[in-house]
């Protein structure tokens, strides 16, 4: 008779819960896990050590406990988590500001920490040199590398092997990640080695992410094959920027950000639909865009959560690296209300419909029937547009039509969906 298994292993993680964060790959002691084609694979014999199961954040998260452990207090605000400071900020350097997605705050902070010798590098996401249309995790060691990696990469990328490799090197390192990356890292930081090696965690807001196919679709819509691409940006040009490609033979094409957001509905990874965290509630510092008329033109929304994060921001301000203006919670809700509602109310509705077996100890949001219906209809639209046959039909529509639908959709969401 086979011996009774006492530990859970990779086989016990339901793939429907996987956010592709990469934490399991970083922790597997015998390296038999790999991220490929936006899935985690077992590529050898598992020894049932149970580590991947234990730390998998897709499966289980206790936000209050992790917030207390890493930020010093429980989640507190139902929409924003625990915070010490709410602000808008931007890099003082024009070059950094222009390179960044919103105000260039993340890039400015990383360059500053490198210059001061506070970190040896940063784990973040950059474009692949070999395949310039693909995003990849990387350990950035110089200010030039940090500058080259600036801007949002709207593509699902796990931090996996890079985190594991960095863990073996002389640190300390910063980590820049989406909420799901930070969830994984915070769970791994139950282990002292992950806490010491990665003491600085900068989190990006994340409303939607995209499967890699979305990038292929946009390249195609602009009339190119991806092999022709020499350089690609998701937020190129003046803020808020747009999808820009340069080709090897010197041509260039562009779609403004708000006009390609239709891909959010067609290529959203299924697991992202059950994600409750917009503002990266467990990072030391969270950074997002700022959608306020009075701060148009390239400002980042900045949330300091841990005392370490707050101190780093104050120091960077005192050194003239970034400038910041404090703003109110109401202004953050005004700027991000539609996506906070999408995440905080909608994740619950979507998780129920899609039966994603999450063990998240989050309070049940109080939503009336109207909101339930609104979020359910949005889910229905996403599921219809994600269907491969419908997608093929939509792909044939002229870009100008799709762009117009994107702009209407965004305006409608901003005016009708609120927390």
Ligand X SMILES: Cc1cc2nc3c(=O)[nH]c(=O)nc-3n(C[C@H](O)[C@H](O)[C@H](O)COP(=O)(O)OP(=O)(O)OC[C@H]3O[C@@H](n4cnc5c(N)ncnc54)[C@H](O)[C@@H]3O)c2cc1C
66 versus 91: smaller Cβ distance to ligand SF4: 66
- Closest to ligand X by CB, 82 vs 342, is 342
Nearer to ligand SF4, 205 or 295 (CB): 205
With CB under 5 to 8 Å by kind, the binding choice for 182 among ligand X, ligand SF4, none is none
Which residues are near ligand SF4 by CB under 6 A? 9-10, 13, 18-24, 28, 30, 32-33, 40, 42, 46-52, 56-58, 158, 178-180, 184, 206, 209, 271-272, 275, 277
**Is the CB of 56 or the CB of 244 nearer to ligand SF4?**
56
Which of ligand X, ligand SF4, none does residue 347 bind (CB under 5 to 8 Å by kind)?
Answer: none
* In the complex, minimum distance from the CB of residue 59 to ligand X, in angstroms, rounded to a whole number: 21
Question: In whole angstroms, how close is the CB of 41 to ligand SF4 at the nearest point?
Answer: 10
Least separation, in Å, of the C-beta of 1 and ligand SF4? 22
Interstrand relation of 121-127 and 173-177 (parallel, antiparallel or unpaired):
parallel
Cβ proximity to ligand SF4, 197 vs 343, nearer residue: 343
Which residue's CB is nearer to ligand X, number 19 or number 126?
Answer: 126
Q: State how far the Cα of 230 lies from the Cα of 416, in Å rounded to an integer.
A: 40
CB of 325 to ligand SF4, least distance (A): 27
Specify which residues 138 forms β-bridges with. Answer: 124
User: Which partner, ligand X, ligand SF4, none, binds residue 157 by CB below 5 to 8 Å per kind?
Assistant: ligand X
**DSSP collapsed to 3 states, the chain:** CCCCCCCCCHHHCCHHHCCCCCHHHHHCCCCCEEEECCEEEECCCCCCCCHHHHHCCCCEECHHHHHHHHHCCCCCECCCECCCEEEEEEECCHHHHHHCCCCCHHHHHHHHHHHCCCCCEEEEEEECCCCCCCEEEEEECCHHHHHHCCCCCCCCCCCHHHHHHHHCCCCCEEEEECHHHHHHHHHHCCCHHHHHHCCEEEEECCCCCCCHHHHHHHHHHCCCCHHHEEEEEEEECCCCCEEEEEECCCCEEEEEHHHCCCHHHHCCCHHHHHCCCCCCCCCCEEEEECCCHHHCCCCEEEEECCHHHHHHHHHHHHCCCEEEEECCHHHHHHHHHHHHHHHHCHHHHHHHHHCCCCEECCCCCCCCHHHHHHHHHHHHHHHHHHCHHHHHHHHHCCHHHHHHHHHHHHHHHHHHCCC
Q: Indicate the residue among 276 and 337 with the shorter CB distance to ligand SF4.
A: 276
Contact set with ligand X (CB under 6 A)? 100-107, 124-126, 149-154, 157, 176-178, 204-207, 209, 287-289, 300, 339
Minimal distance in Å, beta carbon 289 to ligand X? 4
177 binds, among ligand SF4, ligand X, none (CB under 5 to 8 A by kind): ligand X
Q: Among residues 49 and 73, whose Cβ is nearest to ligand SF4?
A: 49
Q: How far is the CB of 302 from ligand X (least distance, A)?
A: 8
Smallest Cα–Cα separation from 228: which of 211, 247, 210?
247
Q: How far is the CB of 315 from ligand SF4 (least distance, A)?
A: 28
Give me the least distance between CB of 283 and ligand SF4, in Å please.
11
Q: Which is nearer to ligand SF4, 49 or 399 (CB)?
A: 49
**Minimum distance of ligand X from residue 149's CB (angstroms):** 4
Q: Which does 100 bind (CB under 5 to 8 A by kind): ligand SF4, ligand X, none?
A: ligand X
289 binds, among ligand SF4, ligand X, none (CB under 5 to 8 A by kind): ligand X
């Amino acid at each position: 008779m086979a011996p009774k298994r006492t530990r859970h292993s990779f086989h016990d993680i339901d793939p429907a819960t996987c956010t592709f964060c990469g934490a399991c790959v970083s922790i597997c002691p015998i390296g038999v896990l790999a991220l490929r084609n936006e899935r985690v694979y077992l590529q050898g014999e598992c020894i049932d050590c149970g580590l991947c199961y234990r730390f998998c954040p897709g499966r289980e998260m206790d936000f209050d406990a992790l917030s207390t452990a890493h930020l010093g207090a429980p989640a507190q605000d139902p929409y924003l988590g625990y915070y010490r400071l709410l602000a808008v900020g931007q890099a003082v350097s024009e070059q950094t500001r222009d390179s960044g997605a919103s105000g260039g705050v993340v890039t400015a902070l990383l360059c500053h920490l490198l210059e001061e010798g506070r970190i040896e590098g940063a784990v973040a996401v950059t474009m692949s040199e070999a395949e310039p249309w693909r995003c990849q995790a990387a350990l950035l060691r110089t200010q030039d590398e940090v500058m080259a990696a600036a801007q949002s990469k709207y593509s699902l990328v796990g931090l996996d092997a890079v985190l594991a490799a960095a863990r073996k090197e002389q640190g300390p390192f910063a980590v820049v990640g989406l909420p799901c990356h930070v969830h994984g890292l915070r769970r791994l930081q139950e282990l002292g080695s992950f806490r010491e090696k990665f003491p600085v965690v900068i989190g990006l807001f994340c409303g939607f992410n995209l499967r890699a196919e979305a990038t292929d679709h946009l390249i195609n819509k602009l009339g190119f094959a991806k092999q022709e691409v020499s350089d690609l940006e998701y937020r190129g040009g003046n803020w808020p920027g747009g999808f820009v490609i340069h080709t090897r033979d010197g041509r260039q094409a562009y779609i403004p950000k708000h006009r390609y957001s239709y891909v959010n509905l067609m290529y959203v990874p299924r697991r992202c639909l059950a994600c409750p965290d917009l503002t990266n509630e467990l990072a030391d510092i969270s950074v997002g865009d700022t959608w306020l008329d009075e701060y148009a033109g390239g400002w980042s929304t900045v949330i300091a959560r841990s005392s370490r994060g707050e101190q780093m921001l104050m120091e960077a301000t005192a050194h003239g690296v970034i400038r910041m203006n404090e703003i109110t919670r109401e202004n953050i809700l005004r700027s991000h209300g539609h996506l906070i509602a999408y995440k905080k109310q909608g994740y619950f509705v979507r998780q129920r419909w899609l039966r994603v077996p999450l063990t998240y100890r989050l309070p049940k949001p109080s939503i009336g029937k109207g909101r339930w219906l609104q979020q359910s209809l949005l889910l229905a639209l996403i599921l219809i547009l994600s269907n491969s046959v419908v997608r093929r039909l939509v792909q044939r529509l002229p870009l100008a039509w799709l762009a117009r639908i994107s702009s209407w959709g965004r305006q409608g969401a901003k005016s009708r969906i609120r927390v």
